[in-house]
């Protein structure tokens, strides 16, 4: 991944949106362009905070191993910096207690270390590193309004943005990357140019989130640094998690699929925690001291745009992160997907450099992203279709896959090796096909008589 280049591919690239996908993209582009301009509509502050443009920042954000490793490659020494600043290191299979589909995972030391922190803390530290890169210009408090293209729309040529004083500016560039998240305006911008909107696939889940930070927990004895009670569908559709973050605080996130009465108040937050299949989250917070109000978030559907199939996309336009695909947040894949996509973009840029041409950059990038998305999308859909109210196109052979995965989950309750393999798949480090290995099949077969709850 260290691809410092001497001859640059182009003069200028623009990145729309300065969140996780935008930061990682800007870092990647900075090796290939003389100048990278990142335009972010929020004002940048010099401390971690929940921003208007990233309201999900108030909710639990776990960083998967695949994402962590890419952050470290792009910004060497970053994980140690996070830990020195207050992130919490935990052994995933020992320090996190996890109740999943009716069983607790086998607790053991695996050496699979993850780092825990709040989302604003992570983003702030990434931004700090980005600002040290000389050829990246950061324009904050400015909203991109429009795409600029060549006359026949075959190529992107820049953007139009407006700052807080209302001043409108045109900025030229050879490459424009849209990393503006779920609110991406690229489909509308394409329509305004008279081009087709990208095809999209949506899966309706009606997911509700409610989160609260605690200064301290009830005086109970607990050995964990994190605890997750996953719903047990189709009967139980609510879940929750709690994990330690920076400043000795605790992030508590509750969620429910298809909830008729979403959590909105401090009282309903506690009631919801008490309604889970197991009570450790409720026990931990019932006499705890909150450090924030309850924040809520509604996530109606998963959505992926098929830019990889778009035949008239202006070359030089790339759509990444949540703007490309918004996946079920319960599986904690979004930031890591952005990182995997940034890494795929890096490979595409290396290829462009070999060809000395940006001619196919959009096609190659979107094909790369759609490849990266195959496994996370599969994981999310297999799990989301366990809830009866989920609506969308089902995968072929879904019930067979679901039944097999449930058996793997049950084996994770007693077999350390199976659990470690399962973690690798969930952390997007190994392909799900590795779950069909002889050791996993043997563990399933040995315990086939274990009763499911």
Query: Which x/- pattern, by CB under 6 A, does the window 207-236 give for ligand FAD?
Result: --x---------------------------
Among 103, 97, 105, 101, which residue's Cα sits nearest to residue 403?
A: 101
Distance CA(6)–CA(1), nearest Å, equals 15
Nearer of residues 297 and 404 to ligand FAD, judged by Cβ: 297
**Residue 334 interacting with ligand FAD (CB under 6 A):** yes
C-alpha dihedral sign at 340, 344, 347, 353: negative
CB atoms within 10 A of CB 436: 11
CB-facing half-sphere around the CA of 20: CA atoms within 13 A: 28
**Residue 186 interacting with ligand FAD (CB under 6 A):** no
Nearer of residues 141 and 283 to ligand FAD, judged by Cβ: 141
Identify the residue among 20, 130, 352, 381 touching ligand FAD (CB under 6 A). 20
Nearer of residues 112 and 418 to ligand FAD, judged by Cβ: 112
Nearer of residues 9 and 14 to ligand FAD, judged by Cβ: 14
**Residue 26 interacting with ligand FAD (CB under 6 A):** no
What's the CA angle centered on 27, arms 21 and 32, to 5 degrees? 125
From 321-329, 346-354, 392-400, 437-445, give the range in contact with ligand FAD by CB under 6 A. Answer: 321-329
β-bridge partners, 35: 12
Identify the residue among 198, 321, 368, 376 touching ligand FAD (CB under 6 A). 321
What b/e readout covers 381-416, taking b as 16+ CB neighbours within 10 angstroms? bbbbbbbeebeeeeeeeeeebbebbbbbbbbbbebb
Nearer of residues 114 and 333 to ligand FAD, judged by Cβ: 333
Query: Which x/- pattern, by CB under 6 A, does the window 83-122 give for ligand FAD?
Result: ----------------------------------------
Distance CA(26)–CA(37), nearest Å, equals 8
User: Which residues are CB-contacts of 349 (< 8 A; sequence separation ≥ 6)?
Assistant: 3, 9, 28, 29, 31, 32, 361
Residue 235 to residues 85, 297, 387, 388: CA-CA distances in angstroms? 42, 23, 9, 9
Q: Which parts of 195-354 are beta strand (E)?
A: 200-216, 226-229, 238-244, 250-257, 289-290, 295-305, 317-319, 325-326
Identify the residue among 70, 177, 332, 340 touching ligand FAD (CB under 6 A). 332
Identify the residue among 116, 157, 179, 236 touching ligand FAD (CB under 6 A). 179
CB atoms within 10 A of CB 188: 12
Task: Give the pairing type, strands 295-305 and 325-326.
Answer: antiparallel
Looking at residues 35 to 64 of the shown chain, list those that interact with ligand FAD (rule: CB under 6 A). Answer: 39-42, 53-54, 56, 59-62
Distance CA(354)–CA(361), nearest Å, equals 12
User: Which residues are CB-contacts of 258 (< 8 A; sequence separation ≥ 6)?
Assistant: 205, 206, 237, 387, 388, 389
Nearer of residues 308 and 415 to ligand FAD, judged by Cβ: 308
CB of 323 to ligand FAD, least distance (A): 6
Looking at residues 124 to 163 of the shown chain, list those that interact with ligand FAD (rule: CB under 6 A). Answer: 143-144
Identify the residue among 10, 18, 316, 432 touching ligand FAD (CB under 6 A). 18
Looking at residues 272 to 301 of the shown chain, list those that interact with ligand FAD (rule: CB under 6 A). Answer: 297, 299
Stated as kind and residue range, the H or E segment containing 103 is strand 103-104
CB of 387 to ligand FAD, least distance (A): 17
Query: Which x/- pattern, by CB under 6 A, does the window 380-399 give for ligand FAD?
Result: --------------------
Nearer of residues 251 and 408 to ligand FAD, judged by Cβ: 251
Nearer of residues 138 and 422 to ligand FAD, judged by Cβ: 138
Identify the residue among 66, 157, 336, 390 touching ligand FAD (CB under 6 A). 336
**Residue 240 interacting with ligand FAD (CB under 6 A):** no
**Residue 22 interacting with ligand FAD (CB under 6 A):** yes
Count of positions on this chain that bind ligand FAD (CB under 6 A): 39
Nearer of residues 253 and 407 to ligand FAD, judged by Cβ: 253
Chain-centroid distance of CA 159 in Å reads 26
Phi, psi (5° rounding) for residue 104?
A: -90, 135
Among 184, 179, 117, which residue's Cα sits nearest to residue 342?
A: 179
- Which residues make up the interface to ligand FAD (CB under 6 A)? 16-22, 39-42, 53-54, 56, 59-62, 143-144, 179-183, 185, 209, 297, 299, 321-323, 329, 332-336, 338
């Amino acid at each position: 991944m260290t691809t410092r280049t001497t001859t640059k591919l182009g003069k200028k690239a623009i990145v729309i949106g300065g969140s996780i996908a935008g930061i990682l993209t800007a870092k990647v582009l900075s090796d290939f362009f003389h100048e990278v301009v990142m335009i972010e509509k929020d004002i940048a502050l010099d401390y971690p905070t929940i921003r208007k443009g990233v309201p999900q920042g108030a909710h639990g954000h776990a960083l998967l191993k695949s994402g962590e490793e890419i952050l470290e490659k792009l910004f060497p020494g970053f994980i140690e910096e996070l830990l020195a600043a207050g992130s919490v290191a935990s052994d995933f299979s020992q320090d996190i207690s996890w109740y999943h589909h009716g069983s607790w995972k086998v607790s053991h030391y695996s050496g699979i270390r993850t780092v825990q922190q709040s989302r604003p803390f992570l983003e702030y530290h990434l931004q700090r590193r980005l600002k040290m890169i000389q050829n990246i210009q950061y324009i904050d408090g400015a909203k991109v309004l429009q795409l600029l293209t060549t006359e026949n729309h075959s190529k992107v040529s820049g953007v139009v943005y407006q700052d807080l004083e209302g001043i409108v500016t045109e900025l030229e560039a050879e490459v424009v990357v849209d990393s503006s998240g779920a609110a991406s305006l690229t489909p509308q911008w394409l329509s305004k140019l008279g081009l087709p909107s990208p095809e999209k696939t949506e899966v309706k889940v009606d997911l509700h989130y409610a989160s609260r930070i605690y200064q301290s927990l009830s005086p109970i004895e607990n050995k964990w640094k994190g605890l997750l009670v996953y719903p047990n569908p189709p009967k139980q559709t609510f879940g929750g998690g709690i994990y330690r973050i920076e400043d000795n605080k605790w992030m508590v996130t509750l969620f429910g699929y298809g909830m008729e009465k979403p959590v909105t108040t401090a009282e309903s937050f506690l009631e919801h925690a008490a309604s889970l299949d197991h009570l450790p989250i409720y026990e931990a917070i019932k006499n705890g001291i909150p450090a924030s109000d309850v924040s809520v978030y509604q996530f109606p559907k998963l959505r992926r745009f098929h830019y990889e199939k778009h035949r008239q996309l202006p070359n030089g336009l790339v759509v990444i992160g949540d703007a490309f695909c918004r996946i079920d947040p319960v599986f904690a894949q979004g930031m890591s997907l952005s990182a995997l996509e940034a890494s795929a973009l890096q490979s595409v840029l290396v290829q462009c450099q070999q060809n000395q041409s940006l001619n196919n950059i959009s096609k190659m990038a979107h094909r790369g992203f759609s490849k990266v998305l195959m496994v996370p999308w599969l994981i999310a859909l297999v799990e989301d279709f366990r809830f009866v109210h989920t609506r969308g196109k089902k995968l072929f052979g879904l019930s067979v896959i679901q039944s097999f995965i449930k058996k793997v989950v049950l084996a994770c309750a007693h077999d350390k090796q199976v659990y470690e393999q399962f973690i690798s798949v969930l952390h997007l480090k190994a392909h799900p096909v590795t779950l069909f290995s002889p050791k996993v099949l043997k563990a399933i077969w040995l315990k086939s008589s274990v009763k499911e709850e």
